[in-house]
């Protein structure tokens, strides 16, 4: 333990950490700036999803910057900060469902092995794990799997996204592990909702009782 702390201190001297909000040295997001991670936020209705809880507006607060650092610069520890600092209203909204409908499992959006190899991790996995720890939910990373490598969704319109993801997801476990169960589907950003809806459709097809989406931010450019 002493050696670990000494090594950490040595690394901090060589590579000091600065807050992405105010540039104060010491941590990636200081206590003051954590109040500004999530601004806005809403609850959306879904088609196959029962509803989608959106923690914040992707174009406000610090959520865009933190997610960029988390996903593309590989700062995995930000997953804990992002979940620990979810707004109080999100926790109340979730607890209303978690308490009333019985046992829940958190489910991540699966990533094709090729993209996961490129990035080194699945950001949705890390977020779903943190949510499971915070609210005591079951977690199984194999509930859903991705059948094939798909084009990036970022440059596609809604119709293109639907075509791109058609039949891209499947269950990765025995259907009996899904039938009659409740699932919290976790992702980082909501644009058109295509990915969440496709995954929810697979779960509902195999008998899921309820599927709620939880995303950290909504892109204003989506519908």
Dist CA 171 CA 17 (whole Å): 40
Read off the DSSP letter of residue 110: P
Query: Over 60: is that where the pLDDT of 3 sits?
Result: no
Residues 209, 101 contacting (CB under 8 angstroms): yes
Looking at the structure, tell me whether residues 104 and 8 fall in a common domain. Answer: no
Looking at the structure, tell me whether residues 1 and 77 fall in a common domain. Answer: no
Percent of the chain at pLDDT exceeding 70: 84
When pLDDT is cut at 50, 70 and 90, the band that residue 10 belongs to is very low
pLDDT in tens, 115-132: 888 888 999 999 999 999
pLDDT in tens, 134-185: 998 999 999 999 987 776 666 666 676 666 677 788 999 998 999 999 999 9
* Domain extent for 27: 1-35
Residue 177 exposed, middle or buried by CB count within 10 Å (0-12, 13-18, 19+): middle
User: pTM for the complete prediction?
Assistant: 0.87
Looking at the structure, tell me whether residues 8 and 103 fall in a common domain. Answer: no
- Count up the domains in the chain and report the number: 2
Dist CA 217 CA 54 (whole Å): 6
Looking at the structure, tell me whether residues 10 and 117 fall in a common domain. Answer: no
Domain assignment present for residue 115? The answer is yes
Looking at the structure, tell me whether residues 139 and 81 fall in a common domain. Answer: yes
Strands 182-190 and 42-44: unpaired
Residue 15, classed as helix, strand or coil, is coil
Looking at the structure, tell me whether residues 55 and 11 fall in a common domain. Answer: no
Dist CA 125 CA 194 (whole Å): 18
Dist CA 83 CA 106 (whole Å): 13
When pLDDT is cut at 50, 70 and 90, the band that residue 209 belongs to is very high
Looking at the structure, tell me whether residues 106 and 62 fall in a common domain. Answer: yes
When pLDDT is cut at 50, 70 and 90, the band that residue 218 belongs to is very high
Dist CA 75 CA 38 (whole Å): 19
Predicted pLDDT of residue 187: 95
Looking at the structure, tell me whether residues 21 and 117 fall in a common domain. Answer: no
Domain assignment present for residue 223? The answer is no
Domain assignment present for residue 189? The answer is yes
Read off the DSSP letter of residue 189: E
């Amino acid at each position: 333990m002493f050696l670990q702390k000494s090594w950490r201190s040595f690394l901090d001297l060589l590579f000091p950490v600065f807050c992405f909000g105010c540039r104060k040295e010491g941590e990636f997001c200081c206590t003051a700036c954590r109040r500004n991670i999530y601004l806005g936020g809403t609850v959306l209705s879904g088609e196959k999803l029962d509803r989608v809880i959106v923690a914040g507006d992707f174009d406000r607060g610090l959520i865009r910057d933190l997610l960029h650092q988390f996903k593309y610069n590989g700062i995995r520890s930000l997953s804990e900060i992002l979940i620990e600092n979810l707004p109080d209203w999100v926790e109340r909204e979730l607890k209303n469902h978690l308490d009333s409908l019985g046992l829940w499992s958190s489910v991540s959006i699966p990533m094709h092995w090729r993209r996961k190899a490129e990035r080194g991790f699945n950001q949705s996995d890390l977020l779903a794990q943190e949510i499971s720890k915070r609210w005591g939910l079951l977690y199984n990373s194999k509930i859903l799997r991705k059948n094939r490598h798909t084009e990036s969704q970022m440059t596609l319109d809604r119709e293109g996204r639907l075509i791109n993801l058609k039949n891209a997801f499947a269950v990765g476990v025995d259907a009996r592990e899904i039938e009659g169960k409740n699932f919290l589907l976790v992702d980082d950003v909501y644009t058109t909702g295509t990915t969440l809806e496709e995954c929810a459709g697979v779960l509902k097809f195999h008998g899921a009782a309820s599927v709620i989406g939880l995303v950290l931010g909504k892109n204003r450019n989506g519908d």
